[in-house]
């Protein structure tokens, strides 16, 4: 679970800002929206509102970049491109810090870096913030990694640290990833680094407006629970779809004789893949995969079935609406957070989807007492701004200040005990984070 995320000097966020999933203990409504994890209580959902170019996507991009760096084990390319141009300070470094829970264990992981190297990196554990490891520059400007007393470091581990410091720890490599990948079993220190690393790789997922789930037809057939969840969800949304299923076709038949070059390229990629299954990106308009079964190569696609009073018809996904395809893109995410402790962060959740449908999806998630994960999303959709759906501590706003910096704050910061009409209050500017529209007086002359 995500507890809080802090960023500084990243894109439009020139000053340090913090986002959190901590509930207001004084709010009694929608108690089913909260998880109790040991001594910590967390919200299961948060919505982020703001005008265009206010910084909503930049906040989500920061989490995505943080995840990408931890997974790859190295700094992003050209960090200077991501440094804020609006900061009033002389800082030439970016700072990311995230607090999260794996199982019942609380971690805080922080990284500070500039265009050349990692300046600081640390992993803490527990509410007291005990240091697992810390990495800083010494007086000579060289990275130095040290262990704290939170673990009983063996002589073998201390020797390993000497090797890391002298040979393995480069300026742009993350120590967390390096240590999580070490093949040392049964070491309590390395177990902590693996747990922390696993949150980024296995628990945090970021979905951009252009994102599509990879290998969906493959997982659809492997996971009968996902298949049934998809069918029941689409039927409950009353979209005219009675079923979603996969269809497999030999590759030669699927592409035809005139596309041998595409077939050869796909087969070559398949032979070199670990699991002998690959997504077909930009090769079809469908959710499609190529895979090897026996000695033969097949293409598998998702299709829908529509039932009417007197007939049954099958459709390819490129024959369905953009809204239907977008909902299908989200279904793996909603299935995961329904049954697994994962965190999904979605930018522009309402894109191409009718407000009633997206509200129904969110309502199903927040009202269930059996869900396991968290959902954070940005949106412009005012239809979701209602206390019947969201608590005030689940609503966040982003707006630009007069210096161009993005400000980030929660509706929980406002002293309002009741919200008779939250949507009207938002459009009236009571909470900020709306566009300030100037006059547009350009005269259009009629053609001669």
pLDDT of residue 65: 96
1-209+347-448: CATH topology: Rossmann fold (3.40.50)
According to CATH, where is 3.40.50 located in the chain?
Answer: 1-209+347-448
Taking a C-beta distance cutoff of 8 angstroms, is the pair 238, 250 a contact? no
Question: What gap in Å lies between CA 415 and CA 145, rounded to an integer?
Answer: 45
SS3 content of the chain, % helix, strand, coil (to 5): 35, 30, 40
Span 222-242, mean pLDDT? 86
Lookup: tokens for 270: 């398949």
pLDDT, one tens digit per residue, over 133-177 is 888 887 777 777 777 644 555 666 777 777 777 667 788 899 899
Q: What CA dihedral angle connects 155, 161, 162 and 168, to 10 degrees?
A: 150
pLDDT of residue 440: 44
Taking a C-beta distance cutoff of 8 angstroms, is the pair 176, 169 a contact? no
DSSP secondary structure of 302-318 = EEEEEE-SS-EEEEEGG
Q: Which 3 state secondary structure label does DSSP give 250?
A: strand
Taking a C-beta distance cutoff of 8 angstroms, is the pair 16, 8 a contact? yes
pTM, entire model: 0.86
pLDDT of residue 154: 64
> Which of 3-7, 89-93, 414-418 is predicted with the least confidence, judged by mean pLDDT?
414-418
pLDDT of residue 307: 84
pLDDT, one tens digit per residue, over 338-369 is 999 999 999 999 887 888 888 888 998 998 88
The sign of the dihedral angle between the CA atoms of 388, 391, 396, 397 is positive
pLDDT, one tens digit per residue, over 250-309 is 988 888 877 788 888 888 888 888 788 888 866 666 678 888 888 888 999 989 999 877
pLDDT, one tens digit per residue, over 174-209 is 989 988 887 766 567 788 889 999 999 999 999 988
Spatial CB neighbours of 72, under 8 Å, sequence gap ≥ 6 = 177
């Amino acid at each position: 679970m995500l507890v809080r995320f802090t960023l500084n000097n990243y894109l439009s966020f020139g000053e340090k800002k913090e986002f959190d999933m901590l509930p207001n203990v004084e709010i009694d409504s929608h108690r089913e929206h909260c998880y109790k994890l040991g001594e910590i209580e967390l919200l299961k959902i948060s919505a982020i509102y703001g005008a265009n170019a206010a910084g909503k996507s930049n906040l989500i991009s920061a989490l995505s970049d943080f995840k990408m760096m931890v997974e790859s084990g190295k700094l992003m390319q050209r960090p200077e491109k991501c440094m804020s141009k609006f900061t009033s300070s002389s800082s030439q470094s970016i700072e990311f810090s995230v607090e999260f829970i794996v199982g019942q264990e609380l971690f805080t992981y922080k990284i500070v870096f500039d265009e050349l190297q990692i300046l600081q990196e640390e992993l803490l554990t527990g509410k007291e913030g005990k240091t697992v490891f810390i990495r800083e520059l010494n007086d000579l400007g060289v990275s130095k990694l040290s262990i704290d007393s939170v673990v009983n470091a063996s002589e073998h581990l201390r020797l390993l640290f000497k090797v890391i410091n002298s040979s393995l720890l480069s300026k742009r490599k993350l120590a967390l990833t390096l240590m999580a990948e070490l093949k040392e079993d049964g070491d309590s220190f390395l177990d902590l680094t693996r747990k922390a690393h696993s949150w980024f790789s296995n628990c945090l997922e970021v979905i951009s407006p252009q994102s599509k789930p990879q290998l969906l037809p493959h997982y659809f057939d492997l996971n009968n629970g996902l298949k049934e969840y998809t069918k029941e969800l689409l039927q409950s949304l009353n979209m005219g779809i009675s079923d979603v299923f996969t269809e497999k076709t030999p590759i030669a038949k699927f592409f035809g004789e005139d596309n041998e070059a595409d077939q050869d390229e796909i087969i070559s990629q398949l032979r070199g893949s670990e699991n002998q299954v690959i997504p077909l990106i930009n090769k079809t308009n469908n959710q499609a995969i190529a895979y090897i079964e026996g000695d033969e190569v097949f293409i598998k696609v998702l299709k829908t079935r529509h039932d009417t009073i007197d007939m049954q018809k099958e459709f390819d996904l490129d024959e369905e609406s953009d809204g239907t395809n977008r909902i299908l893109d989200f279904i793996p995410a909603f299935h995961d957070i329904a049954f697994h402790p994962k965190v999904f962060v979605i930018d522009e959740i309402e894109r191409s989807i009718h407000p009633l449908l997206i509200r129904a999806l969110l309502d199903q998630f927040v009202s269930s007492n059996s869900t396991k994960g968290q959902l954070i999303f940005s949106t412009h959709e005012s239809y979701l701004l209602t206390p019947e759906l969201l608590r005030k501590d689940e609503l966040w706003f982003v707006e630009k200040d007069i210096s161009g910096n993005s400000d980030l704050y929660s509706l929980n910061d406002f002293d309002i005990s009741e919200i008779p009409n939250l949507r009207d209050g938002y459009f009236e500017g009571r909470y900020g984070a709306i566009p300030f529209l100037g006059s547009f007086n350009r005269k259009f002359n009629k053609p001669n």
